[in-house]
Structure 1
Amino acid sequence: MNDTLKKIPYLNLFLFILTIITTLIAGSYMEGGNILSLHDLKLGIPFSFTLLTILGFHEFGHYFYAKKNKISVSLPYFIPAPTFIGTFGALIKIKSPISNKKALLEIGASGPIAGFIITIPLLFYGFTKSTVIEINSETSIVLGESLIIRFFTFLVFPDISQSQDIMLHPIAFASWIGLLITMLNLLPIGQLDGGHIVYAIFGKNHHMISKIFFLFLIPLSFLSINWIIWGLVIFILMKTLKHPPILDFDTVLTFREKLIGFVCLLIFIISFIPVPFEI
């Protein structure tokens, strides 16, 4: 009995429950609910459920492929936060060295691919529930568009005019955040998912590629200040742009395995948002 209790991931469960609460509050606030009212919390369910589903698919993608490659890994830690969206995301902790390039590639790519796959149908459904509004001076925040967002805009609202904008349904907004998270994770920098993929495919050239893309955040910051903020956060959290070595660096990836990296590149391109927010 004691051994069973020790295996229960109490911290993971506590953080997940807390993140459910904070994202419910965030979603309720977006819908005009009273954040102090338990009754109004139900207004946040569509946003909370969608965002946590996307984050969950992303992190469990990493988790299952780490297990597949016999890498010791923690269950996902969801991170609650007193922010507009109620969370700082989620993460897993790799507890043992990664064995080879194939394992690193699969672990790095599985999260973004899994998250993207679940995001697309949620985004489409959210768009069908969204409404078209007239643009006016009271519009405070305008969300940036990626290629995939433009595609769904054309698909669902083909007749939208220049004087109109889309008021995203909470499910669509949470999906938009999911795409943003996927894009940021696929940046080929340091130990981000994109960094893992680049290290697995390009090996020692990773550090040069990582520095180039990190420096590229500077001109991007002239388009949106968000880029310099995210760059600083990435550098503070990782402390280095280098990637830690893996046990077997001599493994040669097959063409099919390298295609996984190409798929992730396509996801990055169609999810890329040059100006995420305009105020």
Structure 2
Amino acid sequence: MQQQPSPYTAPPPVVSLEKVEKMRRGMAHLFSVGDTTLDEPHSGFVRYRGRFLVDSADCFDEIREIFEAQGFTPTVREEENGRIAIVAIPQVFNPSASDWRINLALFVATVLATLLTGSFYNAETVEQAFQIWRGWPFSLSIMLILGAHELGHYFAARYHKVAVSLPYFIPLPVPVISLFGTLGAFIRMKEPVKNKRALFDIGVAGPLAGLVFAVPILIYGLATSEIGPMSSTGLLEGNSLFYYLSKFAVFGQFLPSETSDVYLNQVAWAGWVGLLVTSLNLMPVGQLDGGHIMFSLFGRRAGQLFMPIIVILVALSIASYLIYGTATWTLWIVLLYFFGRTYAEPLDDVTELDPRRRWLGIATMIIFVLIFMPVPLRILG
């Protein structure tokens, strides 16, 4: 007679016990394991709970190397009871190489699109509008700002040994003539970031690098632009505190006034666009640069900023429509509502920022307030 197995017998663990023990022994001098749980929180995962014997920032790379040798990637989380849990994910990130030809093609297309946009700017005849070489001041200026922004992210990621793509520039389709000639640029991180410090460095490097070029380009552009009578029709660029004060520093008066305003040349326009793009990226939500900074500073509590930001943008959009007839933030609100809820969580969520990074994060948020434009553009007439 063959005895049937009891339906209440627990199934054997998916994870090899030999691998579980090798990982535990391998990190014994770094992390004291109190208990080990198999298939937790998901099938094939391993959870080690205990305490660090060495600062997590100093030993995570070594723990990751030990785990990857067994086909796992470690994540570090603090549980509600204050205990530290290292969860081994049954996956090793081995990103494939990107096709640089795509990046190059998009870069060339964006250069052409911004040249065309610049040639239309202040063109006096149709013939001048299509002489795209005339747009080189705008194209060179905006590409410097966007390029510095994305390369800031890129080199910070490479410094922290995070696999990342080259910048992808986004041209607006020609012959569509836009105000900017581009929708910006982005890089793609191919694997999770190690810890909050790495996430912070990658997030903050882009905006700061972009501003290193945007600010002098803006000031030079304003200094070479002219003041003229206030127009009653057309588009009027928005003011931020920094932009407002920059015009006062250059011209000795607050603009626009009731009678006059500055007529931006191509370089000044590129500098203004650079400020706008940087402020949009610094919004403290989701996968934006500002979201990375806020998550690095406050962890999951950063998610509490989502609804207040949405409410503020809705209020600004309503006010803009009632006063100027332009609902400026409508599209941005929709995009953030659907895509701004998730944050990039690092593998090690326990290591906190050092004081220097905390102060830099606070300073960056102050910069965001100074360059944010409540009404970026409005239509006159």
Is structure 2 residue 302 aligned with structure 1 residue 200? no
Is structure 2 residue 366 aligned with structure 1 residue 266? yes
Counterpart of 2:159 in structure 1 is 68
8 Å CA contact retained: 1:223, 1:275: no
8 Å CA contact retained: 1:223, 1:274: no
Q: Distance in 2 between matches of 1:34 and 1:260?
A: 48
Cα deviation for residue 253 of structure 1 reads 1.2
List aligned pairs for 1:189-268, cutoff 5 A.
189-224=285-320, 225-236=327-338, 238=339, 240-268=340-368
Cα deviation for residue 38 of structure 1 reads 9.6
Counterpart of 1:108 in structure 2 is 203
8 Å CA contact retained: 2:237, 2:377: yes
Q: Distance in 2 between matches of 1:181 and 1:244?
A: 21
Deviates further, 36-45 or 224-233: 36-45
Matched residue of 2:185: which SS? strand
Q: RMSD between aligned alpha carbons?
A: 1.9
- Runs of 4+ that moved beyond 3 A: 33-39, 159-162
Structure-2 change in CA distance of 1:245 and 1:35 (3 Å): farther
Of the three residues 265, 268, 290, the one matched with 1:169 is: 265
Q: Distance in 1 between matches of 2:319 and 2:119?
A: 31
Residue identity in the other structure for 1:68: Y
Deviates further, 165-174 or 6-15: 6-15
Matched residue of 1:14: which SS? helix
Larger radius of gyration: 2
TM-score (norm 2): 0.68
Larger helix proportion of the pair: 1
TM-score (norm 1): 0.91
Larger strand proportion of the pair: 2
1:108-130 deviation line (CA, Å, top 9, x unaligned): 11111111111111111001111
Gaps of 5+ in 2: 1-96, 321-326
8 Å CA contact retained: 2:121, 2:129: no
Counterpart of 1:23 in structure 2 is 114
Residue identity in the other structure for 1:269: V
Cα deviation for residue 8 of structure 1 reads 6.5
Identity of aligned residues (%): 39
8 Å CA contact retained: 1:189, 1:211: no
Q: Distance in 2 between matches of 1:151 and 1:7?
A: 43
Matched residue of 1:121: which SS? helix
Gaps of 5+ in 1: 1-5
1:26-49 deviation line (CA, Å, top 9, x unaligned): 110113177777971121100111
Q: Distance in 2 between matches of 1:124 and 1:190?
A: 31
